[in-house]
Structure 1
Amino acid sequence: MNNYYKYLPVSEVDKSWGLYVLNVGCTHIEKAQVYPPRNHPAHHYFKWDEGRVFDEFQLIYILNGEGMFESKSCPLTSVKSGTLLMLYPYEWHRFKPNDETGWEEYWIGCKGNILQHIHKHHFFPKETPAYYLGTHESVINLFTDIIEHTRLEKTGYQQLISGMLLHLFGKIFSLSKQIRFDKKNKHEEVINQAMSLMQANISSSLSFEKIAGDFCISYSLFRKEFKLYTGMSPHQYFLQLKLNKAKIRLMGSDDPVKQIADELGFESAYAFSKIFKAKMGCAPNHFKKKIRR
């Protein structure tokens, strides 16, 4: 790894995009090396005894070494190779590699309304800022690609790397959920079968209590694990499938609302219209008119 860092100029246009990168870098820390390195920029330098606070988000991916991390919301915790640390604006923190191992780190500092929205909705809680992803090639490639674009600074590069950065946030969220689910959960096959069953019976009514019983697990456990895996309860997931199918029918056919409601297993056209409006913001007929203007 060749050590590199760069602090980027940011225009008002870049800020209005909603997500922008402030700084990037990669550093190889030798065993027993002073950390942070002495050449670290003053406004990002810190001493272990004092820690640090700054006004940006940062992603720090640790490889080939071990260390420790602590923040205001997270007690002192060990960091192993393959861990991604997430730092938050105005949140005191400190971290360092072990003298016995050193480590390699990639980092990106960033800001923007998109990140504020993600943080507000607790996708990445301050209480759990360390995400073990393992040594993941796709994550490394995103960091290195972003770094390479900052070397060149071609016109429009901020918008390009902000899109890559959002991809990185999505990758971190997805991988952390998959790893956590694989370690702690034995019901992934059951959930996938249930999802396939819903797809195959989209025109019917289903009893999720019966489905759970057929898989020999309690309904409460089935619902809990299904929501952990998909982000939705079984009922909401099945309803979303039906509404997506209804939207396709409304956009591509002249079938009356009652016929669509009947064929998708709703109790009545009134019940279908009420649910459709609650979820989509307008009644089925109004939706059809807007699409076909």
Structure 2
Amino acid sequence: MGGINDIKKEQNKVGSHKNIWHGVGRQRIEIPRSVLKSRIQNNALLRQMYICGLGYYPRATHHYTYRKKGLPENFLFYCVDGHGFYTIGDKRYEVGPGQCFILPQNVEHAYGSSENDPWTIYWLHFGGSLLPNFNALPVIQKHFKPNPVRSSNEMISLFSKIYKTLELGYSIDNLLFANMCLSHYITLFIYNQKHFVASPSEKIDCIDSAILFMQEHINENITLNELSHRYNYSPSRFSSLFKQRTGYAPIDYFIQMKMQKASQHLGITDKSVKDIALSMGFDDPYYFSKRFTKVMGMSPTKYRSVTRD
């Protein structure tokens, strides 16, 4: 009888109370502040990025939360069904199935489900000393707006592993496992496309396309003018876009890819340095060695001897 009464109480309490949603099927874990302070924030391995709480809200009727000053942590939301909305400052966004978004720390926000078609969401609340650096990344700022994600069993499976581990208590092993899973869980959303093999018909942006083009032509020489013309940009604009995404100028990035490939040849073949240089598009072995040393931190000959010891 107790179980039935509990369900009836929960049904009568459906909705948000003190920024916590109550409803049938709710799953929710919040790490106690005492645990965060004593076992995580004092741990050099964990304090940089750590889970504060996570949950699953199915058909979250009357779900609504507003925080004037936001929170000192981030929220990652993944909507799998239904619809909802959120605001960051004075900007409002609509959210539907197969979309995710991040609410950044210390920013006024609100979020809630649609009255007519309440959302089903997975959410994860995470903090850490590196959060300001994390939120400064362009790929993270892109996710302050709703982003479509391709569904993967791994997303739900990893969420479940984290949740079930934390249900077993806050031993150091459980905390380490859950928080070591955190970075991978986040990449499933912010680098969603990298977890799938792109189909031939799938459109990818010009920077990713340019990197694939470099890989396919790793044995050749490519100029900045050739790349920029290929994607209908001026050389300066293309270079700026490429550097914004990767942190490197296009040709410097291409040289690094060449040296990575060359290091593989040095490690697993008996080809001469001259032959490897030629295969990477370098007519001058001396110049190749100079570039290899700058990228890899040692000469090709030294690299070969080290990797074969």
Q: Deviations over 1:118-143 (max 9, x none)?
A: 43332211773422226554323332
Whole-Å separation in 2 of the counterparts to 1:146 and 1:268: 53
Trace 1:1-293 onto structure 2 (pairs within 5 A): 2-8=25-31, 9-10=35-36, 11-12=39-40, 14-17=43-46, 18-31=48-61, 33=62, 35-36=64-65, 48=66, 51-72=68-89, 75-112=91-128, 115-125=131-141, 128-133=144-149, 136-153=152-169, 156-175=173-192, 186=203, 195=212, 198-199=215-216, 202-205=218-221, 218-221=229-232, 235=251, 238-252=254-268, 256-292=272-308
**Higher RCO (CA-CA < 8 Å; seq separation 6+):** 1
Counterpart residue identity of residue 29, structure 2: K
* SS in structure 2 at match of 1:124: helix
Whole-Å separation in 2 of the counterparts to 1:126 and 1:245: 32
Q: Deviations over 1:213-234 (max 9, x none)?
A: xxxx94243896x969x95887
* SS in structure 2 at match of 1:142: helix
Any conservation in 2 of the 1:131–1:176 contact (CA below 8 Å)? no
Q: Deviations over 1:102-121 (max 9, x none)?
A: 22222111223565544333
Residue 266 of structure 1 and its aligned partner are, at CA, apart by: 0.9
Whole-Å separation in 2 of the counterparts to 1:292 and 1:144: 42
Whole-Å separation in 1 of the counterparts to 2:276 and 2:193: 39
Whole-Å separation in 2 of the counterparts to 1:164 and 1:76: 31
Whole-Å separation in 1 of the counterparts to 2:143 and 2:51: 24
TM-score normalised over the length of structure 2: 0.68
- The number of residues matched between the two structures is 268
Whole-Å separation in 2 of the counterparts to 1:113 and 1:34: 30
TM-score normalised over the length of structure 1: 0.71
Whole-Å separation in 2 of the counterparts to 1:178 and 1:108: 20
Could you say if the C-alpha distance between residues 4 and 203 of structure 1 is closer, same or farther in structure 2, counting changes exceeding 3 Å? closer
1:42 corresponds to which residue?
Answer: none
Whole-Å separation in 1 of the counterparts to 2:150 and 2:275: 51
Whole-Å separation in 2 of the counterparts to 1:61 and 1:85: 7
Residue 86 of structure 1 and its aligned partner are, at CA, apart by: 0.7
* SS in structure 1 at match of 2:167: helix
2:7 corresponds to which residue?
Answer: none
Any conservation in 2 of the 1:118–1:124 contact (CA below 8 Å)? yes
Identity of aligned residues (%): 19
Residue 243 of structure 1 and its aligned partner are, at CA, apart by: 1.1
Could you say if the C-alpha distance between residues 220 and 134 of structure 1 is closer, same or farther in structure 2, counting changes exceeding 3 Å? closer
1:44 corresponds to which residue?
Answer: none
Counterpart residue identity of residue 219, structure 1: R
Q: Deviations over 1:43-99 (max 9, x none)?
A: xxxxx4x54411112212223221221113x71111112221212221221111122
Whole-Å separation in 2 of the counterparts to 1:29 and 1:194: 42
Residue 24 of structure 1 and its aligned partner are, at CA, apart by: 1.4
Any conservation in 1 of the 2:60–2:113 contact (CA below 8 Å)? no
Counterpart residue identity of residue 4, structure 1: Q
Residue 272 of structure 1 and its aligned partner are, at CA, apart by: 1.2
Any conservation in 1 of the 2:188–2:195 contact (CA below 8 Å)? no
Counterpart residue identity of residue 66, structure 1: H
Q: Deviations over 1:254-280 (max 9, x none)?
A: 655334323322131232123223322
Counterpart residue identity of residue 5, structure 1: R
* SS in structure 2 at match of 1:123: helix
| Structural RMSD (CA) | 4.1
Residue 4 of structure 1 and its aligned partner are, at CA, apart by: 2.1
* SS in structure 2 at match of 1:172: helix
Whole-Å separation in 1 of the counterparts to 2:110 and 2:295: 44
